[in-house]
A and B are shown apart, each in its own frame.
Chain A
Amino acid sequence: SIRNGIRSRELFVLTYGALVAQLCKDYEKDEDVNKYLDRMGYDIGIRLVEDFLARSAVKKCRSYSETVDMIAQVAFKMYLGITPSVSRSNTTENEFFLILENNPLVDFVEELPAGRTSLCYCNILCGVIRGALEMVHLAAEVNFIQDRLKGDDFTEIGITFLKKLEDKKHKRNK
């Protein structure tokens, strides 16, 4: 039921918030918390892919663009109930952006904790995406480019694919 779904998400958000608070206690430097969150996210991402594929019966993506669309429209929707909008860099090849209008991870967070101006509160998301992509043999750099919690106008995740995906169309026999 929808109510169960909402409760599940609340539970995740509360747990995530408690984790971040704990890491802020354990690590003085923001970069260290950010790295720790990213690493945890990576470990989660490599396992979550199986869960995702089991739940979603999606067909294989044949381009980076399809892959990013799937992340935004299927995965984010499924796990966090939001659909970030997707855009693509005009200048850098293979770089895409996810813009998060709403972000349930920060539902209970009004501002960054005091003295934590460089904290990427949601950095776990970058690790999850990176880990998941790696499991489908796509290497990518994933980071927050803009963050509302840091005073930016919106929250934006950048995904830059590192290797050129083979153009499968050319390999098909006619």
Chain B
Amino acid sequence: MADSPLFQALHMEMAHALCEEQEKGLSVLEGVGFRVGQGLSERLTKEMPSFKDELDVLKFLCKDLWVTVFKKQVDNLRTNHQGTYMLQDNQFLLLTQLSNGKQYVEEAPKFLAFTCGLVRGALSNLGFDSTVTAEVPVMPSCKFQVVIQKS
């Protein structure tokens, strides 16, 4: 199958069920994403040569990881070359399940938390501590900001 109905269905259900109490729920959901990011990054990089540098790792996220989870590559990667990256996905899979429209922008955090954790977990597995935040400029596009922590 070209897509991932079970994963998407599970993600949507987690976003609803775990976020019934919003505040705590978002961090729980982020934590679940974190574990998945660690595991997935481990599996995907098993047969790959090691990465040259930080940018190489981000490119892996934007290509291999993103295609595996979201069925497409990140559309745009920007960096200030000082540890901050911006990943833009113009048709973010997990938002396309929601209707387009401004009213759903309020609900969006529930549908971004898992992915923020996923990115943070993948980076963690590859040796980088980071903070990851996301925003929805307009549905269904999404921007993830990654800040790599200096050790």
Residues on A lying within 8 angstroms of B by beta carbon are 4-5, 7-12, 14-19, 21-22, 26, 36, 39-40, 43-44, 47-48, 51, 78-80, 108
Contact = CB atoms under 8 A, between A and B. Distances in A.
Interface residues of B, number: 27
A44 B52 CA distance: 42
A103 B35 CA distance: 21
Interface of B: 1-7, 9-14, 16-18, 28, 31-33, 35-36, 39-40, 43, 68-69
B5 A15 contact: no
B128 to A, nearest CB: 20
A135 to B, nearest CB: 14
For the residues of B in contact with A, the DSSP-based class is: helix
A48 B10 CA distance: 10
Contact of B13 (A12, A44, A79, A108): A44
Given A18-B35, A22-B32, A8 B3 contact: yes
- Closest CB pairs A-B (n = 7): A18-B35, A8-B4, A12-B7, A12-B6, A18-B32, A14-B39, A44-B9
B69 A11 contact: yes
A22 to B, nearest CB: 5
Question: Which of B5, B6, B10 has most A Cβ within 10 Å?
Answer: B6
B5 A43 contact: no
A16 B1 contact: no
23 contacts: A5-B1, A8-B1, A8-B4, A8-B7, A11-B4, A11-B69, A12-B4, A14-B39, A14-B43, A15-B36, A18-B32, A18-B39, A19-B14, A19-B32, A22-B18, A22-B31, A39-B17, A40-B10, A43-B13, A48-B5, A48-B6, A79-B5, A80-B6
Contacts of A19: 10, 14, 32
Contacts of A22: 18, 28, 31-32, 35
A43 B7 CA distance: 14
B16 to A, nearest CB: 7
A79 B39 contact: no
A21 B35 contact: yes
A79 B40 CA distance: 20
